[in-house]
Structure 1
Amino acid sequence: MTIAIRPAGADHVAAIDALLRSCFPRGEEADLVRNLCIAGDMVLVLAAIDEDEGAVVGTVAFSRMAVEIGGRSIPAVALAPIAVASTHRHQGVAEALVHAGIEQLETAGIILCFVLGDPGYYTRFGFAADVASGFSSPYAGEYLMALPLQGGLIPCGVRGNASHAAAFAMLSAK
């Protein structure tokens, strides 16, 4: 099995939507990705392609956030969602997607990446709740974590607001 990670293009849209709907049967994550794209808040979507099958077997999305530190706006994103086809789980696909995304975000000049998820999973990538603590967010708590990029340019102890794109509010409204 050969997996290639590449930026998602128009030819991947239907496959990514189908993958998200199979991984998250309520469809909220697929709707989230669609709404983020429509609103222009999507920063990066990567697709994991099984080159032997020619199929999309994984995806990760990073969307724009409004984040302030010490009163200054900084480039920040939210990682959500991530999905891997059941046939390709536990084979490193999700890890490859996250690492590739972080690398591309670093190159793009993003300073901070947030995620809302299981600390037992996301801490392996360097995400930490203490980095996110102190940010004013409706998602604040132990499951909101952040990863400083650009060599950790965020000042220690200085926090502000961290707002996800408006499409996320639709998730909590359901």
Structure 2
Amino acid sequence: MDYREAVPADDDAIAALTTAAFGQPEEAELVAALARDGDVELSLVAVEGETVVGHILYSDLGVVVDGRPVRAVALAPVSVVPGRQGRGIGAALVRASLGLLRDRGIEAVVVLGHARYYPRFGFSAALAAKLEAPFAGDAFMALELRPGALAGHVGAVHYARAFGL
């Protein structure tokens, strides 16, 4: 299995994979809209031979904590071809991409996802609780890639236009 940044030639494979993984086209449409709007920070694919079997996308996310801007991204979506789910491809994509984001100076990542899946990578609902957002609860989590990036009393997030929030 190889992991690399997506290129435009991967777009159709990513759309098909994402639609199959979620059983509906909405997430694939989100990926396309984020790319069209120029809001993608990182798009990483898992490739087996010539076939794209997994994909993870991070988009720009406006975050301010105590009036201080934080360089942050939103993780969404993570897709793995249905026949390969549960075999570690998604987890490998998360791990590989977090390292790339850290190297690019991204300070924090926010995700709305499975409350038992993302904490294994360090995501925390408690860390996200101070962030005013369209989401709340155990599924709304944050991860600091730079220690203390989200330190403070109150914050807010502003998602890219494609999210429609």
TM range (shorter): over 0.9
Residue type matched to 1:153 in 2?
Answer: G
Q: TM-score, length-normalised on structure 1?
A: 0.91
Please list, as runs of the form range in 1=range in 2, the aligned pairs for 1:126-145 lying within 5 A after superposition: 126-145=122-141
Partner Cα distance (1:56, 1:36) in 2: 20
Residue number in structure 1 paired with 2:48: 50
Identify the residue that residue 118 of structure 1 maps to in structure 2: 114
What is aligned with 2:25? 27
Opposite residue 163 of structure 2, the aligned amino acid is: F
Number of positions where the alignment pairs a residue of Structure 1 with one of Structure 2: 165
Q: How far apart are residue 25 of structure 1 and its match?
A: 2.4
Q: Deviations over 1:114-167 (max 9, x none)?
A: 0001110000010000110111101122211000002x1325343311111111
Q: Is the CA contact (8 Å cut-off) linking 2:127 and 2:150 kept in structure 1?
A: no
| Percentage of identical aligned residues | 38
TM-score normalised by structure 2 residue count: 0.95
Task: Give unmatched runs, 5+ long, in structure 1.
Answer: none
Instruction: State the 4+ residue runs in structure 1 displaced beyond 3 angstroms.
Output: none
Matching residue of 2:36: 38
Separation in structure 2 between the aligned mates of residue 166 and residue 140 of structure 1, nearest angstrom: 19
The C-alpha deviation readout for 1:99-125, integer Å capped at 9, x for no partner, is: 011000000001110000111000001
* Match of residue 95 from structure 2: 99
Taking the aligned partners of 2:135 and 2:159, their CA distance within structure 1 comes to 9
**CA distance in structure 1 between the aligned counterparts of 2:150 and 2:101, rounded to whole angstroms:** 19
CA RMSD of aligned residues (A): 1.2
Q: Distance in 2 between matches of 1:73 and 1:100?
A: 25
85-94 vs 103-112, which moves further:
85-94
Which of 82, 86, 96 is the matching residue for 1:86? 82
Which of residues 2, 5, 14 in structure 2 aligns to 1:4?
2
Hey, what's the Cα distance between the residues in 2 that align with 1:140 and 1:63? 19
Q: Which runs of 5+ in 2 are unaligned?
A: none
